[in-house]
Amino acid sequence: MEISSLLKRLHQGDARAVARAISLVEDQGQSGPDIMAGLDPKRLETSLVVGITGPPGAGKSTLTASIVKALRNEKTRVGIIAVDPSSPLTGGALLGDRIRMMEHTLDPDVVVRSMATRGRLGGLCAAAGAAVRILAASGCRLVLIETVGIGQSEMDIATLADITMMVLAPGFGDDIQAMKAGILEVVDLLVVNKADQPGAQKLLLDLGREATSSGRVLQTVAREDQGIIRLLDAIFALEQQLRQDNTLQIRRQQARQREALDWTLELLKPFLRQQINSSPTANNDPGEIARQLAGRIIAEHG
C-alpha cells in the first residue's frame, strides 16, 4: 500500500489504516518516518493524551471502558492504547484489546491498540509515542493509555501523557505512604475507584488533606458509571489550564526528547548485544563490561 493512500485512509479514521501505520512504525519499517511526517499537525495539537495507571485490581480497565462510554455518548472519537506485559519469547503483548474492551470493539470511533512493554520496567515501549500521534491524527480527540498496573515502576507514562491519573481502590491504603514519595508526586489526578466499598473513606484520609482539598482527588464507581462525568470535567478543566500556562507544550517537548532517547537505545540494541556477546563474560563483572563498552563508543564517537 502506498504511504499517501495509507495516510489518506488514516486521516479518514479507517481503523485498518491506523493499525497498519502503527505496525509499520512499531516494526521500524522503512516507511515509518514518512508516515510520521505525513500526520495532520492540527489534529496532533488539539488532541489530549490521558495516562491511566495504578496497581492491579484498582479497576483501571473498567474505568477506561466507562470513560469511553461517556465520551461516545458525546460523539467524541477515542483512541486507546492498552499496554500489556510482554511475552518472554516473542516480546509481543500477552493480553488482547478484545478481552479488555469487548464493549466497544464494534464502534468504529473507538480505536484500540494493544502494545507490549517489551520488558521495559517503565511500562511503555519506544513506539508508544508514535502510536499516540497516529491515533490522534486519525481524529481521536482523546487518546487513553492504560498501563499494565505494576504501580511505582510505571513512571514512563507520566512523561508521555499530557495528563496522568492514578487509579486506587479500597484495600491499597497500606501502600499509599510508600507511593507518596514516588509516582504520587508526578500524577495530575488521583481517582479513588470502587468508592462505594468499605475502606474508601480511609483511603481518602491516607491520601492526605492537601491532596483531597486541591481537587486532585476524585471518586468513582466505574462499574456503575458513577463519577465519570465529574472526572471528565476535571480532565478538561486541567487541559485548559495546562494550555493557557504553556505547561502542555513544555510537557510535550520533554516527551519528544525522552522518546528520541528511547528510539536511539532501541536501534542500538542489536549492535550492543553483538558487542556484549563477543566479550568474555565468564569471570567479568557485567557492570564493568558495560562501562568498557560505553567507554569505547564514547571514545570513537564522542
pLDDT digits (tens, 9 = 90+) for 12-23: 999 999 999 999
Grid coordinates of 102: 469487548
- With pLDDT > 90 as the criterion, what percentage of the chain qualifies? 45
- Alpha carbon 248 to its chain centroid, in Å, reads 16
- With pLDDT > 70 as the criterion, what percentage of the chain qualifies? 78
Q: Which contiguous run of DSSP H or E holds residue 107?
A: none
Q: Which amino acid is at 178?
A: A
What pLDDT was estimated at residue 11?
97
What pLDDT was estimated at residue 180?
58
Give the pLDDT confidence of 175-208 residue by residue, as tens digits: 665 565 566 677 899 999 999 999 898 888 877 7
Taking the C-alpha atoms of residue 192 and residue 32, their distance in angstroms, rounded to an integer, is: 39
The confidence band for 275, taking pLDDT boundaries of 50, 70 and 90, is confident
How is residue 83 annotated by DSSP? E
Annotated domain spans of the chain: 39-245, 254-301
Backbone angles phi, psi at 55, to 5 degrees: -70, 155
Largest CA distance in the chain: 63
**Higher pLDDT, residue 292 or 235:** 235
Taking the C-alpha atoms of residue 251 and residue 147, their distance in angstroms, rounded to an integer, is: 19
**Higher pLDDT, residue 98 or 244:** 244
Q: Which amino acid is at 258?
A: R
The confidence band for 98, taking pLDDT boundaries of 50, 70 and 90, is very low
Residue 271: pLDDT over 80: yes
Of 49, 37, 217, nearest in space to 136 by CA: 49
Q: Where are the alpha helices (DSSP H) in 143-227?
A: 156-160, 173-180, 200-207, 209-213
Antiparallel, parallel or unpaired: β 163-168 and 142-146: unpaired
Of 193, 187, 189, nearest in space to 232 by CA: 189
CATH class of the domain defined by 39-245: alpha beta
**Higher pLDDT, residue 157 or 235:** 235
What pLDDT was estimated at residue 224?
96
The confidence band for 121, taking pLDDT boundaries of 50, 70 and 90, is very low
What pLDDT was estimated at residue 92?
40
What pLDDT was estimated at residue 96?
42
